[in-house]
Amino acid sequence: MPEGDVLRRTADRFERALGGRVLVRSDLRWPTAATVDLVGRTVLGTRSYGKHLLTRFDDGRTLHTHLRMEGYWRIARTGSPEAAARSPQVRAVLATAEWTAVGYHLGMLDVVRTRDEPTVIGHLGPDLLAETVDLDEALRRWAARGSTPVAEVLLDQTVTAGIGTIYAAESLFAQRLWPWTPADELADPRQLLAVARSQLQRAVAEGRPPGHVHGRLRRPCHRCGTPIAVGQARRPPMERPIFYCPRCQAAPTVPPDGS
């Protein structure tokens, strides 16, 4: 699933291609928005919030999209074959005279009044890629999760927005924390969230996430050479894989979901 860094880079691309420009094409292939026409509207700007994208227009409306597991946006020059957007996987097309944004496999799409954006993102915790992050609010929400495993709290978008399986695993590895440590036993959750924020910011700048543990099953740990293992956070059907080093992130017992 695309995480906060991907959405921030997508928002930046939207800004460069569409920001301040008038739409000449609007095609929202979504049951609840199929009749919405944005042609003639000026794009005021696009921002990301966690894993959500908000594109605002001069008529007081916002296009809200979420990529879910497989979604992505592509920018193509208007008039090119890619901009034709004929694929059945296309869910949205926004075009100016110069550039066309095509959304594939989008998992969520709404058009709301800009002042009503809280109805679609208001339940989320602080965005770790915001210029200023209210970590005190994040820690209040963290504390409310009690003894929930720390990996699951990191994945909980109502605690902080933007972390997925990559940054959950990589931030825990950076702090040498066993992913199933009860959240209320963590000595310094503020430091862990700061590490995750730093990793997200670096990935936005560099275009790639850390690569120490995530997706490296059975490959040697970059620190100690121990084969990387994988366990499970959350219960089915919401389970997520969490990669970790059994030595650097030693546990008092073997996690019950395997390694």
Gap between the Cα atoms of 259 and 164, Å rounded: 19
Of 21, 74, 234, 240, the catalytic one is 240
Is 2 considered catalytic here?
A: yes
Gap between the Cα atoms of 191 and 195, Å rounded: 6
List C-alpha distances in Å: 224 to 52, 68, 195, 221.
37, 34, 21, 6
Of 8, 41, 47, 51, the catalytic one is 51
Nearest to 108 by CA among 94, 91, 125: 91
Query: Please, where are the H alpha helices in the chain?
Result: 4-18, 118-121, 135-143, 150-155, 165-174, 189-206
Gap between the Cα atoms of 142 and 134, Å rounded: 12
Tallying the residues shown for the chain, one arrives at 259
Is 70 considered catalytic here?
A: no
Element (H, E) at 66: strand 61-66
Element (H, E) at 37: none
Is 240 considered catalytic here?
A: yes
Catalytic residues: 2-3, 51, 240
